[in-house]
Copies of this chain bind each other. A is one copy, B any other.
Amino acid sequence: MIWLSGKELARERRKVLRQKLELLPQPLCLAVILVGNNPASEIYVTAKERAAKKAGLHSRVLRLPEDTSANALTLLIDGLNQNPGVHGVLLQLPLPPHLDMARHLQEIDPQKDVDGFHPVNVGKMTLGLPALTPCTPLGIMHLIRHYQIPLEGKNVAVVGKSNIVGRPMAQLLMHAGATVTICHSLTAHLPEHLRNADIIISAAGSPDLIGPECLGRPVYLIDVGINRLADGAVCGDMQTQNLATHPHCLGLTPVPGGVGPMTIQVLLENPLYAGSGSRIDQTLPLHP
């Protein structure tokens, strides 16, 4: 069993990214829009800011009050779209309930859409065309490649069908030749589906969902879940302790230190692919 350390891989890739950024004629700038006071969002945004700084990327966090109107948010996004000094725009989710997520995500210039959530990028990625790609799934692809986990012709079970992780993850895996099963909260007999998998990727957000009964053959386990328990501790979707010592477990991502750091690292790399001019650095492959 090996630990699939996103923390280590992110550190390696950050060094490369830093060098690439230093070669650019001007620093890249990532704008992060945070509406309201969601405490989890505050933590994520702070982590992104810190990581951006370490990588040598300028980041600008735009904090808006909880009662920001849709039109004010539209105007702000439009200004960032027009601003040539801003290379990536990220709208931190979730938005307060009175704001329409789909509308505002579509307002971001697809070329600055570092989260890869704009329909144009979703469509291009699905079709196998170059596109800004959602950070968590792309980070997981980097992790799989780094640890030389085979994908072609392998069975991969993805748990969760969100637009942020599950669906784009399935697309990237299919492009790599995997046979993909997408399970979710309505799936009957989840363990049965998982027992056929060579790789299980769980983004269910359900603590301890996946235990030894889900392992039917030698398998790599990738845990996207970040669940906060009543006592404040953080755990993933997998029963890490039970699974790490299971004879079928070939590899496992720790939580924290697995998928999380890769998500942030890809977010910092994506501005390199934003825009369409010479700024695009083709040497870091967009699809791993």
Contacts and interface: CB of A to CB of B under 8 A. Distances in A.
A102 B127 contact: yes
Contacts of A122: 122-123, 126-127
A123 B180 CA distance: 19
Interface in A165-185: 167, 170-171, 174, 177-184
Contacts of A127: 102, 119, 122, 163
A188 B217 CA distance: 15
A196 interface: yes
B181 A174 contact: no
A123 B174 CA distance: 16
A187 B174 CA distance: 11
A94 interface: no
A178 B182 CA distance: 9
Contacts of A171: 167
Report copies per complex.
2
A123 B118 contact: yes
A116 B153 CA distance: 29
Given A174-B182, A181-B179, A184-B179, A126 B123 contact: yes
Interface in A78-125: 102, 118-124
Nearest to A151: B186
B174 A161 contact: yes
A152 interface: yes
Instruction: From A123, A126, A179, A180, name the one whose CB has the most chain B CB atoms within 10 angstroms.
Output: A123
A153 to B, nearest CB: 4
A8 interface: no
Contacts of A163: 126-128
B120 A153 contact: no
A47 interface: no
Nearest to A171: B167
A234 to B, nearest CB: 28
B180 A186 contact: no
Interface string A133-146: 00000000000000
A184 B127 CA distance: 16
A155 B188 contact: yes
A152 B120 contact: no
Q: Chain B CB within 10 Å — which of A121, A127, A161, A163 has the most? A: A127
Nearest to A153: B186
Contacts of A179: 181-184, 186-188, 193
Given A118-B123, A122-B127, A174 B167 contact: yes
Interface of A: 102, 118-124, 126-129, 152-155, 161, 163, 167, 170-171, 174, 177-184, 186-188, 192-193, 196
The 7 A-B pairs with the shortest beta carbon distances in the complex, nearest first, are A119-B123, A123-B123, A122-B123, A181-B181, A179-B187, A153-B186, A177-B186
